Amino acid sequence: MTANAIIHRNTGLAGPVLVKAFTTRVEVVSLGGLNGLAPDDLLNGVSLPVNPALFDRFVTLGYAHGTGSGLARVMECYEGTGITATVSATANSVRLILPRIAPASGDGRIIRFPEARWVHSMSGDCAF
């Protein structure tokens, strides 16, 4: 999702893309609004890149699909967990909250979300 935050960021606004890691969640905040779209439009696969040249480069390099499926794939990662990611937007920022998923009883795995493998993977796995 960090690639999405960079691709859809309004470069006319000063400031970085923020990635905040907490024990219970990861938050990604990107400057720039949704350009007239609603958060539900994103869930429906609507994509309106603010920086088309940057968007094309990310697709060419394999860091983005270019199909508007990023948020839907994130939501699929949470299916069956009882929790979900959330998106909120203002006129000048978009925030995605990715709750960390506790390992199944006896599993013993530590979930690092998002992992570098997941961020760069185009295979669709959630790296849980």
Dump pLDDT digits (tens) for 47-91.
788 788 888 888 898 888 777 778 888 888 888 888 999 988 888
Do the domain assignments include residue 92? yes
How many domains would you assign to the chain?
1
Give me the CATH number covering residue 80: 3.30.565.60
pLDDT of residue 108: 45
Give 75-78 contacts, CB < 8 A, sequence gap 24+: 75/43, 76/126, 77/126, 77/128
For residue 27, is it within any domain?
Answer: yes
Residue 28 lies in a domain: yes
Establish if 21 belongs to a structural domain. Answer: yes
More confident residue, 12 or 120: 12
Q: What percent of the chain has pLDDT over 90?
A: 5
Rounded CA gap, 55 and 69, in Å? Answer: 14
